[in-house]
C-alpha cells in the first residue's frame, strides 16, 4: 500500500464550520426536488452558492449543468469533483419537516446530499485556495437518473472536461446498503451497464366474460415475464453478475375489458459485453416466440445509449483507499460488484479516477430504507465525512 503523508483530518474543523449550512442546503433541495433535465432551481442554488465563495461559475453546461472552477497556484493539474442533482418520480412517504413539496417527485437517491456535500467541500477548498497547486473543477451534473443520454455526456460534449483539461475525476454517492461510518469502493469494474428494455404486446381485446374470442395481452405478458426471468437462471453462467427485472406493467382500463395491448418496461444489468449481447438476443427471441405461440405480436427495444460499466482506475483507487482510511471515524470497505448503473462512468472513461460510496444506513434512527424507496432518507450527521473526503481527495491529487 502506498504511503499518504498528508493529515486527512486537518480540514474537519472547517467542515463543521459549514455543517449546519450544508444540512440546510440539503433540506432545501430535498423539499424542492426536480426531475432529470429540469433542475433549474437546484442549479440556481448551486451557482449562487459557488459565487459566494468567489469561485468562477459556468451555468447551463449541457443543459442545466453547473461548473465551478477554483484555480490553483500553478494550474498544471485539474481535478474534477462530481455530484449529480436530479430527483426521481417517487411519492415521498417520510414524515419529516423537509418532506418534498413537489407531489410525486422525491430525492430518493441522495442527490440532494451529494450537492450539499460538494458545496461544503467547495467552501473549505476556497478558504484554503492558497494551498492548492492544481485546479479544482466542481461538476454538478443533471439527469443521472435518466439511464440513457443522461447528463454527463451532454456536459462532456459541451466541454466540461476542457479549458482547463481535467486530469482525474472523483465522485461520491450516498448508499444505504452500507452502514454509517463506512466508505465503500473497489478497483476496476464497480457498477454495471444498465440497459433499459421496453416490450409491447399486441393482442385482441374483448369482453372479460369471453376470453376465448380475444388474444389477451395480459396473459401473454405474464408468460413472458416468467420466461424472461428464466433466462438468467438457465442460460447465463451463475458466476456472472447479471440482473434482469421487469419494473413496470401497464395495460387495461376496466375490470371487465380485456385490452388490446400491454406495455412493459425493465432493466438488464451486466458487466460483460458478450453476456450483454447474449441476453438481448435471448430476450428478443423469447418475447417474440411466446407472443406468436398465443397469437399475439410483440415489439422489443433496448435503449442503445446505456451508461457504460463504471470503472475505477486501480492505481488511483489504491491511493484513495489509503487516503480515506486515515479519516477518523471512517472504515473503508470493499464495495464488491454493484448492479446499479451510473452516469459518472462517462466522466471516468475520459479522465481516470474513482467513484466511491458513503454509507448512511442507521438502524438506531430507522434509516434503513434502500435508495429509490419512498421512505429513503440519510443520516445527516455523517454528511461531514462525505464533504471531508472530497476535500482530502482534491488536496492530495491537486498537490501530488
State the catalytic residues: 307, 380
245: which 3 cell numbers? Answer: 427485472
**From CA 224, how far away is CA 242, in angstroms rounded?**
19
Q: Is the distance from CB of 309 to CB of 193 less than 8 angstroms?
A: yes
CA distances from 8 to 188, 201, 232, 323, 395 (A): 24, 57, 44, 7, 9
Q: Is the distance from CB of 330 to CB of 181 less than 8 angstroms?
A: yes
Query: What does the DSSP 8-state code read for residue 85?
Result: -
CA distances from 262 to 56, 96, 251 (A): 50, 38, 5
Q: What one-character-per-residue DSSP string does 134-179 give?
A: SEEEEEEE--GGGSSSTTHHHHHHTTTTTTTTP-EEEEEEEEEEEE
Q: Using only C-alpha atoms, what is the Rg of the chain? A: 23
Q: Is the distance from CB of 247 to CB of 265 less than 8 angstroms?
A: yes
Which H helix or E strand runs over 225?
A: helix 217-235
**From CA 226, how far away is CA 219, in angstroms rounded?**
11
**From CA 315, how far away is CA 389, in angstroms rounded?**
18
Give CA 162 to chain center in angstroms: 23
Nearest-10 Cα torsion for 267, 352, 328, 55: -100
Q: Is the distance from CB of 93 to CB of 73 less than 8 angstroms?
A: no
Maximal C-alpha separation, the chain: 79
1: which 3 cell numbers? Answer: 500500500
Amino acid at each position: 500500500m502506498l504511503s499518504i503523508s498528508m493529515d486527512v483530518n486537518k480540514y474537519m474543523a472547517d467542515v463543521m464550520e459549514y455543517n449546519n449550512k450544508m444540512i440546510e442546503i440539503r433540506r432545501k433541495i430535498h423539499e424542492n426536488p426536480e426531475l432529470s433535465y429540469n433542475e433549474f432551481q437546484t442549479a440556481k442554488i448551486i451557482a449562487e452558492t459557488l459565487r459566494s465563495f468567489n469561485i468562477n461559475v459556468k451555468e447551463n453546461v449541457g443543459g442545466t449543468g453547473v461548473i465551478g472552477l477554483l484555480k490553483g497556484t500553478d494550474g498544471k493539474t485539474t481535478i474534477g469533483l462530481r455530484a449529480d442533482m436530479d430527483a426521481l418520480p417517487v411519492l415521498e412517504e417520510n414524515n419529516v419537516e423537509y418532506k418534498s413539496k413537489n407531489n410525486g417527485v422525491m430525492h430518493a437517491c441522495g442527490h440532494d446530499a451529494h450537492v450539499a456535500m460538494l458545496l461544503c467541500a467547495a467552501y473549505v477548498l476556497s478558504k484554503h485556495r492558497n494551498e492548492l497547486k492544481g485546479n479544482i473543477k466542481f461538476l454538478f451534473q443533471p439527469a443521472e437518473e435518466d439511464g440513457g443520454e443522461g447528463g454527463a455526456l451532454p456536459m462532456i460534449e459541451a466541454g466540461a472536461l476542457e479549458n482547463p483539461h481535467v486530469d482525474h475525476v472523483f465522485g461520491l454517492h450516498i448508499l444505504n446498503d452500507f452502514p454509517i461510518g463506512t466508505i465503500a469502493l473497489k478497483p476496476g469494474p464497480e457498477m454495471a451497464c444498465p440497459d433499459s428494455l421496453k416490450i409491447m404486446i399486441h393482442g385482441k381485446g374483448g369482453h372479460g366474460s369471453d376470453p376465448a374470442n380475444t388474444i389477451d395481452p395480459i396473459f401473454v405478458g405474464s408468460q413472458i415475464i416468467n420466461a424472461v426471468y428464466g433466462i438468467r437462471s438457465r442460460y447465463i453462467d451463475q458466476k456472472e453478475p447479471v440482473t434482469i427485472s421487469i419494473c413496470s406493467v401497464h395495460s387495461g382500463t376496466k375490470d371487465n375489458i380485456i385490452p388490446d395491448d400491454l406495455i412493459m418496461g425493465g432493466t438488464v444489468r451486466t458487466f460483460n459485453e458478450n453476456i450483454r449481447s447474449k441476453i438481448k438476443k435471448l430476450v428478443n427471441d423469447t418475447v417474440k416466440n411466446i407472443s406468436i405461440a398465443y397469437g399475439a405480436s410483440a415489439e422489443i427495444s433496448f435503449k442503445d445509449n446505456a451508461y457504460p460499466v463504471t470503472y475505477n482506475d486501480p492505481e488511483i483507487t489504491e491511493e484513495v483507499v489509503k487516503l480515506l482510511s486515515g479519516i477518523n471515524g471512517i472504515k473503508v470497505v470493499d464495495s464488491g460488484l454493484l448492479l446499479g448503473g451510473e452516469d459518472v462512468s462517462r466522466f471516468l472513461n475520459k479522465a481516470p479516477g474513482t467513484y466511491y460510496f458513503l454509507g448512511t444506513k442507521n438502524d438506531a434512527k430507522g434509516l434503513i430504507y434502500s435508495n429509490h424507496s419512498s421512505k429513503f432518507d440519510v443520516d445527516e450527521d455523517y454528511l461531514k465525512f462525505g464533504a471531508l473526503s472530497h476535500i482530502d481527495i482534491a488536496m492530495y491529487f491537486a498537490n501530488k
